[in-house]
């Protein structure tokens, strides 16, 4: 496959390399992933995260694998392992399934590298379209609040929710961003703050529990988040803490927007109850580990509950921004998402 590059991944000489996001913002280090095992480890360890970025990483890894001349049986076996690396974000499953379907159809792997490359190009285009649609909703001077990281590190393009905010900024609108630090893994403090600083967009970092009092003080005009999986009825799984924000936004009458490409839709899930929620290592809550070192501040071995995601019901979401446009709660309740074809689908 030809070399390519974006903020979070690159192809060099037929090998996938991932920017190791566990080390950001302290250290920018590229992690070579010469085989599927290393990609699975990178996905599970969160060297790469963000539903679209995980999906495209997997597609490119399979493109490289196909190019290395493995047989169809081996390809299928490796693809199945990669597909199961993380349970909640559905883009991974969708993109792997797309490549597997083509391999089965062709009874061969000749088309796989180009199809993987197309997944990369597609994600860039999806981000552009979402940014266009979403930015139209952000007026000059607005103060927006976001959670986790949904920018150029979570996708291979401009981003989902953060892409919308970046587009509004680049259109010349004065936007101020409240950044939830996003415990336990601090993607907001480490990644979103880093991206916004590099883009020159005004922001202030807060602990997650501070959002409510900002809302009560009239300091938040809109909330913008991404999604890891959206059910047919509009219920959206996203980083833990998203549901909390949705309830708070609802209480304060603040519009709550979800931005995701149609590759994040899972029409096989009728509603959010069908979305599996990953539970992760208690050590993530007992402390923090990053490029600057590791600390455990809770008592050793203390019992922990650590769900990586939560589900926001459609009733708390005011708008879904997809590459095909903005959908209201009424449209989604009437089945608008259930009728959307996936791109290239």
Residues forming the active site: 228
Q: How far apart are the first and last CA of the chain?
A: 23
Least CB distance from residue 160 to a copy of itself, whole Å? 19
Q: Does 178 bind a copy of itself (CB under 8 A)?
A: yes
Q: Does 276 bind a copy of itself (CB under 8 A)?
A: no
Q: What is the DSSP string of 138-176?
A: PPTT-EEEE-S--STTTSSSS-SHHHHHHHHHHTT---E
In 3D space, the residue among 56, 285, 260 whose CA is nearest the CA of residue 186 turns out to be: 285
Closer residue to a copy of itself (CB): 25 or 325: 25
Which residue's structure tokens are 């989902």? 160
Q: Does 328 bind a copy of itself (CB under 8 A)?
A: no
Q: Does 186 bind a copy of itself (CB under 8 A)?
A: yes
The number of C-alpha atoms within 13 Å of 266 and in the hemisphere containing its C-beta is 28
**Residue 209's Cα: distance from chain center in Å?**
22
**Phi and psi of 88, rounded to 5°?**
-95, -50
Least CB distance from residue 209 to a copy of itself, whole Å? 3
Q: Does 292 bind a copy of itself (CB under 8 A)?
A: yes
Is residue 62 a contact partner of residue 99, using CB atoms and an 8 Å limit? yes
Q: Does 225 bind a copy of itself (CB under 8 A)?
A: no
- C-alpha–C-alpha distance, residues 48 and 63, integer Å: 18
Q: Does 299 bind a copy of itself (CB under 8 A)?
A: yes
Closer residue to a copy of itself (CB): 34 or 290: 290
Binding characters for a copy of itself, 227-246, by CB under 8 A (x = yes): -------------xx-xx--
User: Contacting a copy of itself (CB under 8 A), which of 139, 209, 334, 341?
Assistant: 209
- C-alpha–C-alpha distance, residues 196 and 135, integer Å: 16
Three-class secondary structure of residue 26 per DSSP: coil
Binding characters for a copy of itself, 137-156, by CB under 8 A (x = yes): --------------------
Residues within the interface to a copy of itself (CB under 8 A) = 25-26, 178, 180-184, 186, 189-190, 193-194, 197, 202-214, 216, 240-241, 243-244, 247-248, 250-251, 285-288, 290, 292-299, 302-307, 310-311
């Amino acid at each position: 496959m030809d070399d390519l590059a974006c903020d979070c991944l690159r192809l060099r000489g037929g090998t996938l390399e991932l920017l190791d996001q566990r080390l950001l913002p302290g250290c920018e280090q590229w992690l070579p992933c010469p085989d599927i095992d290393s990609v699975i480890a990178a996905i599970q360890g969160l060297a790469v995260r963000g539903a679209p970025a995980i999906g495209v990483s997997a597609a490119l890894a399979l493109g490289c694998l196909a190019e290395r001349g493995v047989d169809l049986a081996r390809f299928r076996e490796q693809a199945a392992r990669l597909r199961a690396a993380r349970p909640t974000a559905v883009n991974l499953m969708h993109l792997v399934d797309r490549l597997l379907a083509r391999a089965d159809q062709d009874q061969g792997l000749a088309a796989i590298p180009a199809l993987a490359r197309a997944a990369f190009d597609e994600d860039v285009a999806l981000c552009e379209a979402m940014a266009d649609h979403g930015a139209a909703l952000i007026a000059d001077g607005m103060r927006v609040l976001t959670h986790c990281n949904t920018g150029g590190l979570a996708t291979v393009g401009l981003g989902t929710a953060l892409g919308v905010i970046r587009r509004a900024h680049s259109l010349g609108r004065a936007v101020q961003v409240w950044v939830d630090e996003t415990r336990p893994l601090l993607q907001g403090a480490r990644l979103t703050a880093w991206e916004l600083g590099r883009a020159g967009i005004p922001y202030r970092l807060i602990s997650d529990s501070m959002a409510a009092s900002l809302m009560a003080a009239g300091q938040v005009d809109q909330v913008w988040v991404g999604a890891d999986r959206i059910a047919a009825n509009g219920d959206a799984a996203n980083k833990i803490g998203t549901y909390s924000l949705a309830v708070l936004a609802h209480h304060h009458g603040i519009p709550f927007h979800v931005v995701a490409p149609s590759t994040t839709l899972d029409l096989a899930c009728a509603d959010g109850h069908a979305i599996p929620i990953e539970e992760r290592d208690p050590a993530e809550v007992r402390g923090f580990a990053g490029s600057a070192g590791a600390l455990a501040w809770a008592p050793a071995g203390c019992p922990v509950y650590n769900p990586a995601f939560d589900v926001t019901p459609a009733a708390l979401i005011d708008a879904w921004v997809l590459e095909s446009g903005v959908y209201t709660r009424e449209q989604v309740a009437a089945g608008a998402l259930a009728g959307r074809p996936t791109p290239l689908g």
